[in-house]
Each structure stands twice: as C-alpha cells, then as structure tokens.
Chain A
Amino acid sequence: GESVGLHLPTLSVQEGDNSIINCAYSNSASDYFIWYKQESGKGPQFIIDIRSNMDKRQGQRVTVLLNKTVKHLSLQIAATQPGDSAVYFCAEKGENFGNEKLTFGTGTRLTIIP
C-alpha cells in the first residue's frame, strides 16, 4: 500500500542557517505532494505544494524539490527563524479516482536554536 516516510524524526538548526527536511514516498503513481507545518496546539498550516510534472517549486523562504526517480521529496527553509520551529509533514496524493486522498508522513520536528 501507499506509505510516506521521513528520514529523520528530529532536526535542530541554528537560527539563520538553512534547513532541509526530507521525505520518501513509495507510490510512484502519486501526482501531487504537499508540505505542512504544525505548531503545538494548532492544525497543520499549508506551506507549499508541487505536482509530479515539476521537480522544483519556490515560495517565500521555502523550496520544495521532487525527485521522482528515487521517490524523494524535500523541503528547504532558508534563513531559519525561531518561528520555524514546528513539526513538518509531507503528504502525497494518489492519482486514481476514489483514491484521491492525502497520505501523510509521520512528521519531522524542527527546532531552531537561537
């Protein structure tokens, strides 16, 4: 079945440095990927998404890279700030009708060290 996994459960980064959060997925037919940030006591917050026909997409201080060959997704956060401390989830979407749901990874806890 589908599964989305994360390489590292925790990540600590010095404030101002760049961070990279990785995600592996197993369903080669997934056509859409999305990153969420979840702070304590809040619901997941949309960060950035990417479709399978792209390999890179940039937002404000964030970049998502998609490598379909090795089924790998990453989120890069530039110049990290204390407010970036949170749990980050990747999610994939199946392409088949009736299976168009998001499957979430287990999450990576990012801690920004002041």
Chain B
Amino acid sequence: KAGVTQTPRYLIKTRGQQVTLSCSPISGHRSVSWYQQTPGQGLQFLFEYFSETQRNKGNFPGRFSGRQFSNSRSEMNVSTLELGDSALYLCASSLASGGYEQYFGPGTRLTVT
C-alpha cells in the first residue's frame, strides 16, 4: 500500500504571499491531520479533517486553513506568509479520527524569505 504523499516537497515563498500544500492519505484512510515542525517549537498540531469536516484544531492563527475533499485528499493553505512560517509541514493519515495510529508523509519544507 502506498504511503502518505505530500506535494510539493520544497517551496520558497516571500512574505505576504500565500501557499497551498497538498496531502494524499493512505488508501482507505479518512482522517488527515496537519502539523508544523520547527526546531524551536517542535511538532505542533494544526488541524484534523475527517470525512471533509474539521474535527480538531490547534492554536494557530486564522491565516492557517485547510480542507478535505471527498476522496480524503487534503490541502492546507497559509495566507499572508510571515518569516516565522518557515517550517516543515507534515500531514498524517489514519483510519479513524482522534489521533490514533497516524502515519506521516515526508513533509513539505516551506521557506519564507
């Protein structure tokens, strides 16, 4: 079975721009969660989608948003990029909602200049 895939793998943007990241979960998985990983803050939960509905949300500003499609693929959008948004963005998929047995993708490395 193919693992979680994320595109693009690397991205460079300038401050003020917006960006959209994509995640394709493992086949059959209906939950997709997004995380931000930085050296200073570690792995932080952004939000989780299950069956196209946001089920859980972390403590990030409204500039961070997401959605999930009927095929369980998910996108994450960050508007008005700031330098501090530079990070590795990881998505994880699982069969059930709620954080159980999540499998991560390789991540998208976002650099904001």
Contact = CB atoms under 8 A, between A and B. Distances in A.
A18 interface: no
14 contacts: A41-B106, A44-B43, A44-B92, A49-B101, A91-B43, A93-B98, A99-B56, A100-B48, A100-B55, A100-B97, A102-B99, A105-B42, A106-B42, A107-B42
Nearest to A49: B101
Interface of B: 4, 33, 35, 42-45, 48, 55-56, 58, 90, 92, 97-107
Interface string A91-114: 101000011111111110000000
Interface string A55-96: 000000000000000000000000000000000010101000
Given A32-B100, A45-B104, A100-B99, A89 B43 contact: yes
Q: Interface SS of chain B: helix, strand, loop or mixed?
A: strand
Contacts of B107: 42-43
A34 interface: yes
Contacts of B97: 100
Give the size range of A's interface with the partner.
Answer: 20 to 34
Given A43-B107, A46-B101, A93-B100, A102 B45 contact: yes
